[in-house]
Structure 1
């Protein structure tokens, strides 16, 4: 009875070895199919290795491009820090200005400084948006020279540049009173 069991085990081993050789020749690889199945990481490990060889996925650049657009929009629409700083300037202007001050002096201290503070914060957000977008656009030249940047990342980054330039231009015009300046005191 032991002889029959040994013969059956030997036949099973030969059949398994033949299946392994067939699997190896069909794939064109020399890996052992039984080892690959036992590890459970055959195709997944190859895909991860290929992805690592390709380089970075561009997620950081995409996020930077989206952030630059968001900052550009914030510079155009206003932001919490600018509002709080303007309210503080209004309060400081009210405290510094006496009731005997001229009307033009009161307007400048109470409203003009607050307006300039709002413009200053908008300009800072626009400048950060512009710098962030420029970094995203310049980064492929230094990061992964052989890997092209995704077209959508370039488009969004250029939108960030445009919004940053427009926001910066409007902030300068508001700060210099060329756009929506203070009304003259009569």
Structure 2
């Protein structure tokens, strides 16, 4: 009988150990689930209310439509194009310069021009400078409008490029108009008519 008691004691100890193990595993799993849920849920009600208010604000605020992004990108490209045109010159500037040259020739033939060089060279040169300056100002203005609001990185980069080209074009136009890059040609005194 002693043997039987020992076996019974051993069996009950094994059963107790088994129950403890079975109970321990689900208890650990439940504790892990509670920790995961606690991490996912805000700690107090204020956080929940704040999150709800943030969602309401996001819903009330107009979502940035795709059209605004496209318009900003187009504006940045236009600013860059205008800036480039102000630096390199435009068809309109060339046309206006040729018009001024023609008007200078007409005035010379009519005997109205007192300074031939100014009529044939200076006025067309200054007209080109003015037209390029207008393009430079437009480039700077469009780029500045695009840069007033947060935009995508590429839009801001192109707009900054347009602004830089616009400022450079404005400086070049001012230099052309004020004859900073070269003075107006003059006729030597000994070769003037009537000298």
C-alpha deviations, 1:57-100, integer Å up to 9, x for none? Answer: 31100110010000111111111111111001001011112587
Q: Is the 8 A contact 1:126 1:168 kept in 2?
A: yes
Correspondence 1:136 to 2:157 = no
Correspondence 1:70 to 2:72 = no
* 1:172 matched residue in structure 2: 174
Q: What is the alpha-carbon distance in structure 1 between the residues aligned to residue 186 and residue 65 of structure 2?
A: 57
C-alpha deviations, 1:133-177, integer Å up to 9, x for none? Answer: 001011x2xxxxxxx421111111111110000000100110011
Aligned length: 126
C-alpha deviations, 1:17-47, integer Å up to 9, x for none? Answer: xxxxxxxxxxxxxxxxxxxxxxxxxxxxxxx
Correspondence 1:56 to 2:69 = no
Q: What is the alpha-carbon distance in structure 2 between the residues aligned to residue 181 and residue 118 of structure 1?
A: 16
Give the TM-score, by structure 1 length: 0.63
Q: What is the alpha-carbon distance in structure 2 between the residues aligned to residue 185 and residue 99 of structure 1?
A: 21
* 2:20 matched residue in structure 1: none
Correspondence 1:106 to 2:116 = yes
* 1:115 matched residue in structure 2: 125
Query: Please, which runs of 5 or more residues in structure 1 have no aligned partner?
Result: 1-49, 141-147
Q: What is the alpha-carbon distance in structure 2 between the residues aligned to residue 137 and residue 116 of structure 1?
A: 31
> Of residues 153, 156, 166 in structure 1, which corresponds to 2:155?
153
Query: Please, which runs of 5 or more residues in structure 2 have no aligned partner?
Result: 1-58, 189-195
Q: What is the alpha-carbon distance in structure 1 between the residues aligned to residue 94 and residue 139 of structure 2?
A: 19
Give the TM-score, by structure 2 length: 0.60
Q: Is the 8 A contact 1:174 1:181 kept in 2?
A: no
> Shift of residue 184 of structure 1?
2.3
Q: What is the alpha-carbon distance in structure 2 between the residues aligned to residue 165 and residue 181 of structure 1?
A: 23
Q: What is the alpha-carbon distance in structure 1 between the residues aligned to residue 83 and residue 155 of structure 2?
A: 16
Rg bigger for which structure? Answer: 2
Consecutive aligned runs of 4 or more in structure 1 exceeding 6 Å deviation: 99-102
Q: What is the alpha-carbon distance in structure 2 between the residues aligned to residue 128 and residue 180 of structure 1?
A: 26
